Amino acid sequence: MAMTVMSNYNNVYESRYKNVTAKEETAQTTANSKQDSTSDYITKLAKLVPSVEFKVGNGFSTAKTGKTLTVNPKLIEKMKNDPEQEKETMELIKGVESMTKLVDGINKATGRTVVYRHSYIDENGKYCSISYTKKDDKLNAKLREKTKKNTEQLIEKSKEKITKKKEDLQKILEKKKTEKGNQKTDNIEEFINEKIANAENGIIYMNDKDMKSIMKAAEQNKQQNSFTANTMLNLKI
């Protein structure tokens, strides 16, 4: 009789053990799948901004050099579950890529070098950045003069295009005057150059409002066939 009881006990124990093991394996599989899914999602986001190093974290990158964009992990989870948040943040990440190319082009044209540029998008989807640029003194007087001449030619060509569409542009400018906070974004290059020029010791700060203004101005300039990032990148020194 005792042997029968022991046998029944063993059968019950083995059954429960197998059930627990199966649940643990299922939970582990689910966790691994979620981890793989998040990893794939991060890789997808990183492809939107190939000009910088994409990271996930709770603040600016600690790297002292290079160009980085760090996104808060809580925001990434929100993006995976909220299509509107995903769309908005993806547009912002694309904006970082466009701004990076544009600023690099301007720096190249003006003889500046980026020591580092670190951007961060917090858990609420707000953008901020810090960068440090320095004047490149390796350019001799002849090259500086050539750079200045090329820049002036580009500006002159841009003015000619604007003149041809004077009436349309005048309407756009009048509309802009009524929009709060857009006075400095009529020309994206002028706005960025002003930021650089006013930088203290070469350190430039940008906040979410600055970034949104740049993205809006870039879209308006694109529609107006004015300066674009590709134009600046094609500048020959």
**The pair of three-digit structure tokens given for residue 162, joined into one six-digit string:** 């604007």
Q: Are 140 and 184 members of one domain?
A: yes
Q: Are 66 and 82 members of one domain?
A: yes
Q: Are 199 and 215 members of one domain?
A: yes
Tell me the backbone φ, ψ of residue 163, rounded to 5 degrees: -60, -40
Torsion of CA 149, 155, 161, 163, to 10 degrees: -110
Q: Are 84 and 198 members of one domain?
A: yes
What gap in Å lies between CA 139 and CA 159, rounded to an integer?
Answer: 28
How many structural domains are present in the chain? Answer: 2
CB 52 within 8 A of CB 68: yes
Q: What is the pTM of this model?
A: 0.58
Q: Are 142 and 112 members of one domain?
A: yes
**The pair of three-digit structure tokens given for residue 114, joined into one six-digit string:** 């980026």
Residue 111 zone, left/alpha/beta (φ > 0; ψ -120 to 50; rest)? left
- Domain range spanning residue 33? 1-45
Q: Are 15 and 67 members of one domain?
A: no
Q: Over its length of 237 residues, how does the chain's per-residue pLDDT go in tens digits?
A: 444 445 555 555 566 555 656 556 555 555 454 555 889 999 999 999 999 999 999 988 877 668 999 999 999 999 999 999 999 999 999 999 999 988 888 888 888 888 899 999 999 999 999 988 888 665 566 666 777 777 777 777 766 765 665 566 566 656 655 554 444 445 677 777 777 777 777 788 888 888 888 887 777 666 654 444 444 444 443
Q: Are 4 and 65 members of one domain?
A: no
Q: Are 41 and 74 members of one domain?
A: no
Q: Are 22 and 104 members of one domain?
A: no
Q: Are 22 and 65 members of one domain?
A: no
Nearest by Cα to 176 from 216, 118, 116, 135: 216
Q: Are 191 and 96 members of one domain?
A: yes
What gap in Å lies between CA 229 and CA 108, rounded to an integer?
Answer: 12
Q: Which residues contact 195 (CB under 8 A, 6 or more apart)?
A: 204, 206, 210
Q: Are 99 and 185 members of one domain?
A: yes
